A and B are shown apart, each in its own frame.
With several copies, the nearest count.
Chain A
Amino acid sequence: MEIKIQLTNASICERLPAPTSGVGAGAWVDFRGVVRGEENGAVIAALEYEAYSPMAEMEMRRIIAELAGDHHCLFVRVIHRVGIVPVGEAAICVGVAARHRAEAFALLAGFMNRLKQDVPIWKRRALTATELTELKTK
């Protein structure tokens, strides 16, 4: 299984490469977790994410390897954004390819659950539209 993990400050709208023949993958799943316009009931314009990068990457890799023991997949790619992520943009993209869909769905769902328990990444704070504008004009 191929695992690619990346933390980045840049926009992560791109998705998994188009399926290529020959890899034996019958199921490709892409998940994007997008920042929503409200956080705890308040209207927001962005979230700021913080990561303990080396540990976050190791932990994601460890979780995926562990889950792959039960749900064999061919390819897993995770990109998590850090820093300011405006509403409507993806904070995380996960792409999974497997022979059959059941493995891909199970690995993806399991990974997202474990991510939210164990991977040292935090929503540091929510920014209002004014705060976001101020940051951009600095």
Chain B
Amino acid sequence: MRVLFFAHLKDITGCAEMNLPGGDLDADGLWQKLIEAHPGMEQVRASVRLAKNSEYVGRDACFTDVDEVALIPPVSGG
């Protein structure tokens, strides 16, 4: 699945997006893989919301290979 990083998350990961191969994941599984790839993500986990295909999802969300997952840090538009 495609995972997008925004704002200062890009500074932590050093990239705007990554591909997470391998099958379905729940939110915890996703975070585990993200933190493995980018340990700095652990410290922002509490403040980051997850979106799937452009919609916010809760802790019980499941993600499949075709989903676009976005990590949304606190927003500051307007």
Q: A residues near B, CB below 8 A?
A: 33, 49-52, 54-56, 58-59, 80, 91-92, 112, 115-124
CB-based contact A119/B6 at 8 Å? no
CB-based contact B77/A52 at 8 Å? no
Bound together, the chains give a CA A21 to CA B54 distance in angstroms of: 35
Bound together, the chains give a CA A80 to CA B75 distance in angstroms of: 14
Given A55-B70, A122-B73, does the pair A115, B78 have CB atoms closer than 8 Å?
yes
Q: B residues near A, CB below 8 A?
A: 4, 6-7, 51, 54-56, 70, 72-73, 75-78
Does more than half of chain B's interface fall in helix, strand or loop, or is it mixed? Answer: loop
CB-based contact A118/B75 at 8 Å? yes
| CB of A128, distance to nearest CB on chain B (Å) | 19
CB-based contact B55/A49 at 8 Å? no
Chain B residues within 8 Å of A116, by CB: 75-78
Chain B residues within 8 Å of A92, by CB: 77-78
The contact sample of 24 A-B pairs, CB cut-off 8 A, is: A33-B78, A49-B77, A51-B77, A52-B70, A52-B72, A54-B54, A55-B54, A55-B55, A55-B70, A56-B77, A58-B55, A80-B77, A91-B77, A91-B78, A92-B77, A116-B75, A116-B78, A118-B56, A119-B75, A120-B70, A120-B75, A121-B76, A122-B73, A122-B77
Bound together, the chains give a CA A55 to CA B70 distance in angstroms of: 9
| CB of B20, distance to nearest CB on chain A (Å) | 18
